[in-house]
């Protein structure tokens, strides 16, 4: 099982045991407002979400979304990783944190580990998508070295900002 390590964090592959965390994250206001409502309302749905998303991605692509775990406490505080989306021509960087862990540099630290991992995987380009109103994510992507590529259509009658980085 893959584990990435930073000064304060471990990023590890998700398992169905992470379902209680996933249920809480997917239903947090920030996730719903900035990423979208995934309609996951029960532990069983959260387990299926993990199986059909991250676990399937590890098997198909050799990467996926990873649980961000605080080294000091072992608590899962968020997700960060790499995703292949049908709508995008390249792999996408994704991240999300529980609300009480925002603004402490964890997303930056985890995303830097994911970028290093992407280089080890010999990925040459990464994309990231973000809602127009999500200023914190836009600033984070810029800090990581991503450059804005403008907007692109997303879902029904929606548009997102597209960012790109060459590794």
- Give the mean model confidence (pLDDT) for residues 121-134: 95
Residues 6 or more apart whose CB falls under 8 angstroms from that of 8 comprise 70, 71, 72, 106, 109
| 3-state SS assignment for residue 145 | coil
Helix axes 19-26, 43-50, angle to 10 degrees: 100
- Give the mean model confidence (pLDDT) for residues 64-77: 98
CB count in 10 Å sphere of residue 98: 19
Identify which of 131, 118, 156 has the alpha carbon closest to the alpha carbon of residue 144: 118
Q: Is the Cβ–Cβ distance between 132 and 148 less than 8 Å?
A: no
The model's pTM = 0.95
Percentage of the residues of the chain whose pLDDT score is greater than 90: 93
* Measured distance CA(108)–CA(140) in Å, rounded: 7
At 62, the pLDDT band (50, 70, 90 cuts) reads very high
Strands 158-166, 147-154: parallel, antiparallel or unpaired by DSSP? Answer: antiparallel
Residues 6 or more apart whose CB falls under 8 angstroms from that of 139 comprise none
Edge-first strand listing for the sheet containing 9-13: 3-5, 9-13, 65-70, 76-83, 92-97, 125-130, 158-166, 147-154
Structure tokens at 128: 């990231």
Q: Is the pLDDT of residue 157 over 80?
A: no
Which of left, alpha, beta for 150 (phi over 0: left; psi -120 to 50: alpha)?
left
């Amino acid at each position: 099982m893959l584990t990435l390590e930073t000064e304060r964090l471990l990023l590890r592959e998700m398992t169905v045991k992470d379902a209680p965390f996933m249920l809480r994250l997917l239903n947090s206001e920030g996730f719903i407002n900035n990423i979208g409502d995934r309609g996951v309302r029960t532990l069983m749905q959260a387990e299926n979400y993990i199986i059909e998303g991250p676990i399937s991605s590890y098997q198909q692509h050799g990467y996926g979304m990873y649980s961000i775990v605080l080294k000091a406490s072992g608590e899962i505080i968020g997700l960060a990783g790499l995703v292949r989306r049908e709508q995008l021509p390249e792999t996408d960087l994704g991240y999300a944190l529980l609300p009480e862990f925002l603004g402490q540099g964890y997303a930056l630290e985890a995303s830097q580990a994911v970028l290093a991992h992407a280089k080890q995987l010999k990925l040459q380009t990464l994309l990231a998508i973000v809602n127009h109103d999500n200023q914190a994510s836009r600033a984070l992507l810029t800090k990581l070295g991503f450059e804005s590529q403008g907007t692109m259509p997303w879902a029904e009658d929606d548009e997102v900002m597209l960012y790109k980085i060459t590794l």
